[in-house]
Amino acid sequence: MSAHERPLTVLIIALVAVACTTAGSNSAQTPTPTPLASAVSAASPPAATALATPGPGESAKLVVRLTSCDDVCSSDPGTTVLADGRVIWMAESPIGRGLFERTLTSSGLETVHDAVDATRLLGAGGSYRPTVKPGKEPPAHGFTSLSFRATHGEAPVIVQAVDPSAFETDFWDIPAQLYVLADLARKLADPEAWLPAGAWADVRRPHAAEMHLLMVTAERFAGDRPPFPDADAVHWPFPFSIDVIGAPYTAEGRIVENSRCLPITRGLTSELAAAERAVGYDRSLTAPYTDLPYAWARGPGSIDVAVRVLLPDQPTTCIGGGAW
């Protein structure tokens, strides 16, 4: 998922499972999934209801989020600072790289606000990049892109930039704004190194997301099955098969072909991981994004099952595929 995601729009969607016709199915009839309206419990779900996707409460309002992308982009939620002082960021730990959380004091949060305001660049959207000097033909090279999301009033603001260090040659004119944004990015990328001990109200802890997006994509093809567990061999914690959950999701404004998506609670995410362990998979519950492949004899073809963390400021919706 690109770091240059567009703002998520709070829309009305129906979090319902719809029946679909499965071409080439070995079943005698098309499965009729039970509708889920809330994704809170898969047992005795309520009748299908169109839900307004909830926006974050005032405490979860976004102050600023930094995401970055180098030559080989990966799904990384970067660093998020919320209005109640919570900071959620990527860090290394003995069990691997994952999301951690810590809460700022009021003075610590003020320091973050002051740093954001001091840039004078996050009050409105913008894009800043070096330009080639006249008559120059620079060689191709890699660089790190930076994306800042902030809240100005009630409106989301997106500012795109690049790390200027890769452009410090005679080939490029580098706008001063890039150095200002790169300095803020370095601070946000490692908030514990930036902010003093007195800026924190508690200690670091793993971030336990309340909600995830379960995102499923299928590919149909004849021939040999891939050497993975079969999707229908998993006892998924839903009253219907994995290929008919929820509804399609969108990415960059378009519906992803052969996709399904359902917001699920932390509890359901744990149940899903337990069901996968029974077929030999060990899905990480600390990583912000995981993607596991399955064979699919009934398809026939293959199915990818991804789980993405929804951060506290994000609406519970499949619009935008949960892009950070």
Please state the three-class secondary structure of 50-63 as a single string: EEECCCCCHHHCEE
Show the tokens assigned to 320: 């935008």
pLDDT 10s digit of each residue in the chain, 324 long? 433 333 333 322 333 333 333 333 333 333 333 333 333 333 333 332 223 344 556 678 999 999 998 877 766 899 999 999 999 999 988 877 889 999 999 999 999 999 999 999 999 999 999 999 999 999 888 899 999 999 887 788 999 999 999 999 999 999 999 999 999 999 999 999 999 999 999 999 999 999 999 999 999 998 888 999 999 999 999 988 999 999 999 998 899 999 999 999 999 999 999 999 999 999 998 899 999 999 999 999 999 999 999 999 999 999 999 999
**Contacts with 24 (C-beta within 8 Å, 6 or more apart), sequence order:** 220, 298, 299, 300
Peptide bond into 300 cis (omega under 30): yes
* Domain shared by 188 and 270, yes or no: no
Q: How many residues does the chain have?
A: 324
**Contacts with 155 (C-beta within 8 Å, 6 or more apart), sequence order:** none
What single-letter DSSP state applies at residue 109? Answer: H
Rounded to whole angstroms, the Cα distance separating 143 from 132 reads 15
From 206, 225, 260, give the residue that closes a domain. Answer: 206
3-state secondary structure of 193: helix
Residue 3: inside a domain = no
Rounded to whole angstroms, the Cα distance separating 5 from 253 reads 10
From 178, 206, 234, give the residue that closes a domain. Answer: 206
Residue 25 sits in which domain range?
12-54+210-322
Rounded to whole angstroms, the Cα distance separating 215 from 248 reads 9
From 206, 235, 258, give the residue that closes a domain. Answer: 206
* Domain shared by 134 and 233, yes or no: no
Q: Check if the beta carbon of residue 214 is closer than 8 Å to that of residue 246.
A: yes
pLDDT at 94: 80
3-state secondary structure of 184: helix
pLDDT at 254: 93
Number of domains in the chain: 2
Element (DSSP H or E) covering residue 146: strand 145-152
* Domain shared by 218 and 302, yes or no: yes
pLDDT at 56: 59
* Domain shared by 218 and 238, yes or no: yes
Residue 216: inside a domain = yes
Question: Where residue 195 sits, what CATH number does that domain have?
Answer: 3.30.1560
